[in-house]
Amino acid sequence: MRTICVLALALGASACVAPTDRSGELSVQLAALPPLFIKDTVRLSAHVVDQSGADVPNALVSYGTSDPGVITIDSLGWLRAVGVGSATLTVSAVGFAQATPVNRTVNVLAALEVDSIRPMTARFGELVTLYGAGLDKDSLFQTSIGGEDAQVAGYQAVDPQHPNRLGKLVVWMPPPAPRRSVLTVLGFNGGVVFPDSLNVIQHDLYEPDDTVPADLGPLPDGFNNPALALEPQPRTDTKTPADWYTFTNTQTQDRTILFYSKLGATQSVGVFMTDSLAWSSAKQTWVVGPRAWTIGPKSAVCSGLTIQQNGAPVEIKESLFPLSVIALKNLPAGTYHIIAPYVPTGQPIPYQLTIVNQYASVLPPDADEENDYCDVATPFPIGSSASLTIDNPHDLDWFKFSVTAATPFSAVATASDSAGDPDLYLIHDFRPDSLVAVDIARTAGPVEKLSVGSLPVGNYFLLVVDWVGTATPYTLTTSASLLPAPVAAVPRRATAWTPVWTPRGRERP
CATH of the domain at 269: 2.60.120.380
Cβ count near 145 (within 10 Å): 25
CATH of the domain at 181: 2.60.40.10
Residue at 41: amino acid letter? T
User: Residue 312 domain-assigned?
Assistant: yes
Last residue of a domain, one of 80, 108, 136: 108
Q: What is the pLDDT along the chain (509 residues), one digit of tens a residue?
A: 444 444 444 444 544 544 556 677 899 999 999 888 888 899 999 999 998 889 898 899 999 999 999 999 998 999 999 988 999 999 999 988 888 999 999 998 888 889 899 999 999 999 999 999 889 988 898 999 999 999 999 999 998 988 888 999 999 999 999 999 999 999 887 888 888 899 999 999 999 888 889 999 999 999 999 999 988 765 555 556 789 999 999 999 999 999 888 765 455 566 788 888 998 888 878 889 888 999 877 778 999 999 999 999 998 988 877 788 899 999 999 999 998 877 666 778 889 999 999 999 999 999 999 999 999 999 999 999 999 999 987 789 999 999 999 999 999 999 999 989 999 999 999 999 999 999 999 999 999 999 999 999 999 999 999 998 889 999 999 999 887 765 554 554 433 333 333 333 333 33
Residues 301 and 314 in one domain: yes
CATH of the domain at 59: 2.60.40.1080
User: Residue 351 domain-assigned?
Assistant: yes
User: Residue 6 domain-assigned?
Assistant: no
Residue 360 DSSP label = -
Among positive and negative, which fits the CA dihedral 114, 116, 118, 122? positive
User: Residue 155 domain-assigned?
Assistant: yes
Residues 117 and 100 in one domain: no
Cβ count near 221 (within 10 Å): 9
User: Residue 500 domain-assigned?
Assistant: yes
Domain range for residue 122?
A: 113-203
User: Residue 222 domain-assigned?
Assistant: yes
Residues 283 and 341 in one domain: yes
Total domains present in the chain: 4
Query: Could you tell me which of 419, 398, 411 has the C-alpha nearest to residue 469?
Result: 419
pTM of the model: 0.78
Last residue of a domain, one of 65, 89, 108: 108
Residues 386 and 483 in one domain: yes
CB 49 within 8 Å of CB 57: no
Give the HSE-up count for residue 292: Cα atoms under 13 Å, Cβ half-sphere: 21
Last residue of a domain, one of 108, 139, 172: 108
Query: Could you tell me which of 414, 192, 427, 141 has the C-alpha nearest to residue 305?
Result: 427
Residues 433 and 458 in one domain: yes
Residues 307 and 243 in one domain: yes
